[in-house]
Chain A
């Protein structure tokens, strides 16, 4: 549906090409209506706004409301549809009764003509009802009027989308439930996501550490001192480090430690903490 906004205008324009003279005006206003609504929604997705853009948004909305009448006959709500069906049924029964009474007087030749008349009358009545009852009164339309003021007060709208929460249902809950044995699933769902998350972070840490310039980490033994650091390769920046030490190599120099020793210690630490039941010691003295 998100992509729909990006392609609906050209597709509709190509579908409505070559109108004849009676269709021209209708096609033009239908296309205009859809385009302005799409423009409005695309602009609502912006991550930053200027007063001009908010003005554009408001003017798109105004144009949409001016031209929306072309679609009025097609926006039948479920309630109106049901009402129309009910009226249709009642009318048919009424006409069937009348026909039963008249059949004694009428001739056989008249019957198809009468049936046609009834059908036309029924469809006219239905169209009348739908035209009368159709409206654009829905809460989504009301929300559109708040978009510009919402941006002015709280910032861009995409920040508040429920999309992230809804997507998280799949990763955090549905996948966990599928892998559980469906018996007291809540606890299993929680631990499943916790494990996935912890594993993800651990993998990222190992990946980042293995990318230290020029060093190829091969299983247990293979560690080499890196070649001269080049500016082009991405650097692993240690946060909160000493001055002038932005890479592990520089840190080793500053601490006067051999690089391979440092790497060994880091890998040792990763391996030690790999088991989930290992926790940091409770006694601060042990932490050194």
Chain B
């Protein structure tokens, strides 16, 4: 006799870049999907731990409030950098929307931070008139396995 098996898939990760996450989680582009850090203090204080975002609470607030409180709730959500209280993940069982976001090396480090870092370094080199030395060094790097040499100056 055939057996019926029940299967309960649980969404545990959603791999996307920050802009996509901001839309999915219903937060502003300058808000962290994981924690409730204010947009003026991004990456500022390492010692300070910010509260993990509670998307269920936002949902409760957005859905079950009295009409008279609407303005207050909107302000509360805006203060937390949340644009939509009830996002696509909050209705799913056993899913923690704050944990769905996974850190991404490609956008965060290679395309994000390195790009910024090079802007700073370029500015610094320009100020101290060392651009030529940097570009010469850049072209002189010898090749090795897994590393292709750049022919151009940075």
Contact = CB atoms under 8 A, between A and B. Distances in A.
A23 B106 contact: no
Contacts, number: 149
Contacts of A137: 30, 39-44
B15 A142 contact: no
B108 to A, nearest CB: 5
A141 B124 CA distance: 20
B81 to A, nearest CB: 11
A9 to B, nearest CB: 11
B104 to A, nearest CB: 5
B79 interface: no
Interface string A214-238: 0000000000000000000000000
Q: Is the interface of A mostly helix, strand, loop or mixed?
A: helix
Interface of B: 13, 15-18, 29-32, 34-35, 37, 39-44, 46, 99, 102-125, 127-128, 130, 133-134, 137-138, 141, 147-148
Given A1-B114, A10-B141, 12 more contacts: A2-B110, A6-B147, A12-B137, A15-B137, A140-B116, A142-B32, A142-B43, A157-B102, A162-B16, A162-B104, A163-B105, A166-B106
Interface in A1-59: 1-8, 10-12, 14-17, 23, 26-27, 30, 34, 37, 41, 44-45, 58
A58 B34 CA distance: 18
Contacts of B128: 16, 23, 26-27
Contacts of A139: 18, 29-32, 42
Contact of A162 (B15, B29, B116, B117): B15
Most chain B beta carbons < 10 A, residue from A5, A74, A75: A74
A243 interface: no
Interface of A: 1-8, 10-12, 14-17, 23, 26-27, 30, 34, 37, 41, 44-45, 58, 61-62, 65, 70-71, 73-75, 136-147, 150, 153-154, 157-158, 160-163, 165-166
B113 A161 contact: no
Contacts of A136: 43-44
B43 A141 contact: yes
A140 B30 CA distance: 10
Contacts of A14: 133, 137
A75 B116 contact: yes
Nearest to B110: A1
A136 B141 CA distance: 31
Given A30-B124, A71-B120, A137-B41, A11 B138 contact: yes
B46 to A, nearest CB: 6
A138 B42 contact: yes
Nearest to B118: A4
B32 A154 contact: no
Contacts of A37: 113, 117
A33 to B, nearest CB: 9
26 contacts: A1-B111, A1-B115, A12-B137, A15-B134, A23-B128, A26-B128, A30-B121, A34-B121, A65-B43, A137-B40, A137-B41, A137-B43, A139-B31, A143-B32, A143-B43, A144-B43, A145-B46, A146-B34, A146-B35, A150-B103, A154-B99, A157-B103, A161-B104, A161-B105, A162-B107, A163-B105
Nearest to A37: B117
A11 B137 contact: yes
A13 to B, nearest CB: 9
Contacts of B18: 139
A136 to B, nearest CB: 6
Contact of A7 (B30, B41, B141): B141
A143 to B, nearest CB: 5
B105 A75 contact: no
